[in-house]
């Protein structure tokens, strides 16, 4: 299992791309501007897109990807790219992006019977099985309906967890207490100098991050994402003062997080039941 960081910035600037992670070749987690660095062939291998919430920095590339791969997928007779998100998020995409004004409705193109995109609603607590991976939808606390995602690497290798955009969220830590978390990707958008803005916008700053990580058991590799351009030094300096057993790293574009698993692990996952909620 390889997680490739396509984008991890809170906005754009030279060298900064907004949130998107590629799980192996076929599963995209959020669709920020980093998706644009993929080749056409790589874009064509994406079959699933998991969206944490409706904000532009996380959804911008969905429509552009659809336009790029439409002909390629049609020529190969492949089905639609599945887009998984909360119902509120899917409604926002329909109303504000795929509305024929901002962008064509690719859930009906090239034909309504065989579109390049298909929307699939999800709910917190739901588990999906996508290309052999068990993926759970996690609670998030943001200014719009939002979720995070946890990917089970299989066997004894634990979970890769992505919080999505979120402020303090007790429900998240209650759920993670029952998981073996190996890697945690958590946002810290602002430095402590902007802690009030972080509070209002329901993001983290180093102070709130420290309070949240105190609820995470064990010793975990923690990756900081969604830092605003120009704020990396200030944010990481604040985080550097945190007293924690966890190993904290700044996430970077192009970084790969590897959680290897065996064939036996894959077969075991296919044999296990998948619970769907809601």
pLDDT of residue 278: 27
pLDDT of residue 157: 78
pLDDT of residue 156: 73
Lowest mean pLDDT among 74-83, 92-101, 111-120, 268-277: 268-277
Mean pLDDT of 84-104: 98
Percent of the chain with pLDDT over 70: 93
Q: Would you tell me how many other CB atoms lie within 10 Å of the CB of residue 230? A: 10
**Which domains occur in the chain, in start order?**
2-271 (3.60.15.10)
pLDDT band at 261, cuts 50/70/90? low
Q: Distances from the Cα of 32 to the Cαs of 35, 62, 64, 209, 276, in angstroms?
A: 6, 8, 11, 23, 27
Burial 15-31 (b: 16+ CB within 10 A, else e): ebbbbbbbbebebbbbb
Model confidence pLDDT, tens digit, residues 184-218: 999 999 999 999 999 999 999 999 999 999 999 99
**pLDDT of 262 strictly over 80:** no
DSSP 8-class letter at 155: T
d(CA 82, CA 46): 9
Model confidence pLDDT, tens digit, residues 98-115: 999 999 999 999 999 999
Contact between residue 167 and residue 203 where contact means Cβ atoms under 8 Å apart: yes
- Three-state SS for 74? helix
E strand segments, the chain: 2-7, 20-23, 27-29, 48-50, 81-85, 117-121, 127-130, 133-139, 147-152, 159-162, 181-187, 221-225, 247-250, 256-258
pLDDT of residue 277: 28
Model confidence pLDDT, tens digit, residues 119-167: 999 999 999 999 999 999 999 999 999 999 999 987 677 999 999 999 9
């Amino acid at each position: 299992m390889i997680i490739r960081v396509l984008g991890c910035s809170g906005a754009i600037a030279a060298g900064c791309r907004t949130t998107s992670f590629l799980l192996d070749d076929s599963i995209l987690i959020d669709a920020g501007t980093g998706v644009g660095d993929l080749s056409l062939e790589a874009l064509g291998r994406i079959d699933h897109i998991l969206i944490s919430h409706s904000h532009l920095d996380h959804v911008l590339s969905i429509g552009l990807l659809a336009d790029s791969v439409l002909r390629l997928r049609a020529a190969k007779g492949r089905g639609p790219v599945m887009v998984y998100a909360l119902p509120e998020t899917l409604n926002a995409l329909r109303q504000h992006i795929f509305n024929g004004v901002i962008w064509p409705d690719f859930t009906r193109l090239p034909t309504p019977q065989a579109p390049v995109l298909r929307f699939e609603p999800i709910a917190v607590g739901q588990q999906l099985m996508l290309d052999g991976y068990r993926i759970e939808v996690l609670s998030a606390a943001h200014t719009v309906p939002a979720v995070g995602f946890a990917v089970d690497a299989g066997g004894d290798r634990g979970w890769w967890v992505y919080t999505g955009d979120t402020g303090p969220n007790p429900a998240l830590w209650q759920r993670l207490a029952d998981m073996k978390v190996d890697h945690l990707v958590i946002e810290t958008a602002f430095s402590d100098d902007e802690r009030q803005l972080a509070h209002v916008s329901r993001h983290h700053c180093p102070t709130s991050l420290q309070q949240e990580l105190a609820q995470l058991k064990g010793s975990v590799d923690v990756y900081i994402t969604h830092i605003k351009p120009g704020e990396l030094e200030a944010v990481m300096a604040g985080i550097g003062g945190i007293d924690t057993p966890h190993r904290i790293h700044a996430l970077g574009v192009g970084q790969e997080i590897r959680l290897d698993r065996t064939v036996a692990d894959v077969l075991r996952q296919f044999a296990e039941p998948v619970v769907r909620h809601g």
